[in-house]
Amino acid sequence: MASVQNDKADDRDYPLEQWYCAGFSEEAGEKPLARTICDRQIVFYRKQDGALAALTDRCPHRKAPLSLGLVTGDNIECPFHGMLFSPQGTCLNIPSQEKIPPAAHIRSFPVEERHGHIWIWMGLGRPDHALIPDMHWMVDPALTAVHGSLELGCNYLTALDNLLDDTHLSFVHRNTIGTPKIVQAKIEIEGDDDWVGFTRWTLDTPPSALHAKAGGFTTNVDRWFNVRFVKPGTVLIDVGSAPIGTGAPEGDRSRGIGLFSNHTVTPATSGTCHYFWHAARDFSLGDAELSENMRQHMVATFIEDKDIVEAVQHNRECDRENLPELNLSGDVVTLRARRIIAGLIQRESYVGQSQVA
């Protein structure tokens, strides 16, 4: 059973009893890594055996960031007055005095590395490792992957909405991955109380700029999207194109190209979030030049997303009239994902109230 949280569920739009992506494994090296996650400042550092530790990035003395300090063995030293903390958050030494008061200890967080990602459990309850999303594509030797990250100036739910709504591709991404037919293509939705996903086909359509370049297509293609939302902030996408009439809609993709991409959004503050992406392909394996071209193309695509979601955030923050937002038929998947997230928060609130009672 989850423990009572140190803030009210009504005050936040994200659940805490979940795993959140904090970055890629390669980001955590010799120096401490600082990240704001769920309105909390966290410092990550590697111990002598290479395992990660995650602590509150704030010394309890004068609130100096530990991420500016030194890692000494398995411990981390405050850069201000030299207080030393263990991976469990225990204060081991205060140079200016012998006594270590209880208030000198800080919180540690469960952390795990899987498939090249760093995951942190933000709740106070027992972490459920089965909830970490499956991203094996990232390290599959039969695929070639590229990856990256962006800091977005928007609420994480806005970023999730954007990922789960592919009707925007025809407009935001005209010059990259969008094609005109997407917005009107039939959608098939599936899911339950814990996840939601959809499949969309655009048949006999011009290839997107990215697919045309990657697959060498000179004629129309049949294009597929298989999208799945995994709580609390991951979107798994299987997308590809094949020449028309070659059997892709019936299951034969052998003449086409496919991308398996993972997109994970982690709330930082109410108006900012972290966006971690990666895409693994099943064609032209090991081609470094193609990988770099695809990486640049995908970055250009995500910059288009960044521009629009940050503009949306700005308009919402400036809306003094508190105008209602209109939902369209294309929003059904995003609304279901938001209900799943709201349900997680509500259950945490209920558990907290029952324990207080």
What is the CATH number for 49? 2.102.10.10
Residue 347 CB partners (closer than 8 Å, separation 6+) = none
Residue 55 β-bridge partners? 43, 108
Within a domain: 30: yes
3-state SS class at 5: coil
Distances (CA, A) of 29 to 21, 87, 203: 17, 16, 46
Dihedral angle computed from the Cα positions of residues 239, 296, 24 and 91, in that order, rounded to the nearest 10 degrees:
-140
Residue 349 lies in a domain: no
Q: Which two tokens stand for residue 60?
A: 């309890």
Return the C-alpha torsion angle 172, 165, 140, 288, nearest 10. Answer: 0
What does the block give as tokens for 306?
Answer: 């960044």
Average pLDDT over residues 238-248: 94
Which CATH number is 270's domain given? 3.90.380.10
Co-location of 96 and 165 in the same domain: no
Q: Is the pLDDT of residue 1 over 60?
A: no
Give residue for tokens 């012998």: 98
* pTM above threshold 0.75: yes
The verdict on 201 and 320 lying in the same domain is: yes
**What are residue 157's phi and psi, to 5 degrees?**
-65, -35
Three-state secondary structure call for residue 272: strand
pLDDT at 347 > cutoff 70 = yes
- 10 pLDDT tier (thresholds 50, 70, 90): low
Position 288 scores a pLDDT of 95
* 4 within some domain: no
Residue 193's CB is within 10 A of a number of other CB atoms, namely 9
Question: Is 11 within the bounds of a domain?
Answer: no
Q: Which domain holds residue 31?
A: 19-122
- Calculate what percentage of the chain has a pLDDT beyond 90: 76
Checking if the pLDDT of 9 tops 60, the result is no
Q: What average pLDDT is seen over the chain?
A: 91
Structure confidence at residue 178 (pLDDT) = 67
pLDDT given at position 2: 33
Task: Decide if 207 is inside a domain.
Answer: yes
**Per-residue b or e along 287-306, where b marks 16 or more CB atoms closer than 10 Å to that residue's CB:** eeebbeebeebbeebbebbb
| pLDDT (average), residues 88-92 | 98
Q: Which of 73, 96, 122 is the last residue in one of the domains?
A: 122
Distances (CA, A) of 330 to 41, 142, 171, 184, 279: 36, 35, 14, 9, 25
Per-residue pLDDT of 221-233, as tens digits, reads 999 999 999 999 9
The two beta strands, 33-37 and 40-46, are antiparallel
How distant, in Å, are the alpha carbons of 177, 230, 327 from that of 338? 25, 12, 13
Is 354 contained in some domain? no
- pLDDT interval class at 356 (50, 70, 90): very low
Domain ends where: 122, 157, 189?
122
pLDDT of residue 143 exceeding 80, the answer is yes
**176 in the same domain as 293:** yes
What is the arithmetic mean of pLDDT over 344-348? 94
Q: Which of 15, 25, 85 is nearest to 345 (CA)?
A: 15
Tally helices (H) and strands (E) across the chain: 5, 17
Domain count, the chain: 2
- Residue 218 shares a structural domain with residue 324: yes
56 with 149, same domain: the answer is no
Which of 122, 146, 174 is the endpoint of a domain? 122
User: If you average pLDDT over residues 66-92, what whole number do you get?
Assistant: 98
Question: Inter-axis angle of helices 156-164 and 288-317, to 10 degrees?
Answer: 120
Residue 221 covered by a domain: yes
Residue keyed to tokens 């999730």: 160
For residues 164-177, give the mean pLDDT: 83
73 and 38 both lie in a single domain = yes
In this prediction, residues 239-256 reach a mean pLDDT of: 93
Window from 65-74, 172-181, 194-203, 314-323 with minimum mean pLDDT: 172-181
Please give the pLDDT value at position 63. Answer: 98
| Residue 345 CB neighbours (<10 A) | 18
Per DSSP, the residues of 231-246 read: TTTEEEEEEEEEETTS
Q: Are residues 171 and 73 part of one domain? A: no
pLDDT, residue 98, reads: 96
In a domain, residue 194? The reply is yes
- The verdict on 141 and 99 lying in the same domain is no
- Residue 266's identity, in one-letter code, is T
Phi, psi (deg, nearest 5) at residue 285: -65, 135
pLDDT tens, position by position, 14-48: 999 999 999 999 999 889 999 999 999 999 999 99
Q: What is the pLDDT of residue 322?
A: 86
**What per-residue confidence (pLDDT) applies to 350?**
61
Residues 144 and 165 in one domain: yes
Are residue 96 and residue 139 in the same domain, yes or no?
no
Residues 150 and 299 in one domain: yes
Looking at the structure, tell me whether residues 199 and 225 fall in a common domain.
Answer: yes
